[in-house]
Amino acid sequence: MKVRTRRFRNLSGTENFWPSFTDVISTIVLILFFIMLLTYIQNLLTGKNLETAKLNLEQAQLTLDAKNLEIEEAEKQLRLLEVDIEETKAQLEESKLQLILLSDEIEKQNQIILTKETELANKETLIAITLEQLENQKKIIAASNAELEKLRLKLQDIALLRISVLEKVKKSIEEKIGNSNDKGEPLVSIGDNANIIINESLFFDFAKAEIKPVGFPLLLQLSLAFEELLDDNEVKNYIDAIVIEGHTDSIGDPESNRKLSAERAYNVVNKLMEFNPSLENKYGEYFAASGYSEFRPIASNDTESGRQQNRRIEISVVIKDSNIQSIINDYLDETEIAN
């Protein structure tokens, strides 16, 4: 206290122009206050800027996040596009492979088509040739048919010759001695086999081989008719034989019937030659006799009328096989020349 008093005393006693410590301190404090105030104000201003910056930063972050999402979505879409592109590339490669395979298949099909077209052309050519050959064959067949028709007509003429000869004989007999006997029975008839049929009762008694006189006129006329026919060379050239056939019914045993039928046939031939010696002298070699016993019936042997029909004499004209063969050979020769 004492010191302080003294000091104050000294200070008060001397005039001093320098600022006091208190003033300095006060000034410093004031300066510091202003600095702090400026700092506070600056901090206030800086805080607002920071808030604004923070908001801007947050907004930028949000924008960035949105952009990132867009980028991620774009990357996702890009990956999908890449996958699609890869799939498209794979499909493209597969399509290229299929196209190559199809091209090969098309080439093969074209080759097959070309081969088929060639085969078709060959077949068409073959068909054309075949048709031409068929036309030629038709002409040949037509010519052959014409020749065959001629041959048929000639053979038919020969076949009809037998009937024609026997019809002429039958007509000659009917013109000279009539067509029936006193009982109204036909003297001669033409059978289904184109033979002249003479009923047994006109020539023979039952089971007898001797010719009855009542039959002599018929035999005489037969001999004259055959001579007249054989005098025709055109007819004679086709005749091989004139066969007198004897037939019986089934009464009795076959052996006796065979003997009876043969004897009757022989007796008819002999009487023909006896009544007309000229026939025997000129054409004796054409006549023959045969006996068929009961084995060629033309009716049933179970009735009397049937047995009466079976007891008969038949006259058959045999055509020469050589004449028929000659006609056939002529046809074959003409055909061979035509070919």
Q: What integer pLDDT is reported at residue 333 of this predicted model? A: 64
pLDDT tens digits, 194-206: 899 998 888 999 9
Contacts with 243 (C-beta within 8 Å, 6 or more apart), sequence order? 287, 288, 289, 290, 315, 316, 318
State the pLDDT confidence band at 32, using cuts at 50, 70 and 90: confident
Contacts with 145 (C-beta within 8 Å, 6 or more apart), sequence order? none
Q: Which two tokens stand for residue 126?
A: 């073959």
Q: Is 289 helix (H, G, I), strand (E, B) or coil?
A: strand
Cβ-count burial of 229 within 10 angstroms (0-12 exposed, 13-18 middle, 19+ buried)? Answer: buried
Superfamily of chain region 163-331: OmpA-like domain (3.30.1330.60)
Q: What integer pLDDT is reported at residue 339 of this predicted model? A: 57
Q: How far apart are the first and last CA of the chain?
A: 183
Report yes or no: 307 and 249 within 8 Å, Cβ to Cβ. Answer: yes
Task: Choose the weakest-confidence range: 15-29, 88-102, 111-125, 216-230.
Answer: 15-29
pLDDT tens digits, 139-158: 888 877 877 787 777 767 66
Task: Choose the weakest-confidence range: 55-64, 82-91, 116-125.
Answer: 55-64
Q: Greater confidence, 217 or 194?
A: 217
Query: For residues 331 and 148, what is the distance between their CA atoms, to the nearest angstrom?
Result: 8
Q: Greater confidence, 135 or 48?
A: 135
Residue 136 in this model has a pLDDT that exceeds 70: yes
State the pLDDT confidence band at 309, using cuts at 50, 70 and 90: very high
Task: Choose the weakest-confidence range: 47-51, 112-116, 265-269, 324-328.
Answer: 324-328
Q: What integer pLDDT is reported at residue 82 of this predicted model? A: 84
Residue 80 in this model has a pLDDT that exceeds 50: yes
Q: Per the confidence metrics, is the pTM higher than 0.75?
A: no
Residue 266 in this model has a pLDDT that exceeds 60: yes
* Range 215-224 average pLDDT: 93
Query: For residues 246 and 227, what is the distance between their CA atoms, to the nearest angstrom?
Result: 22
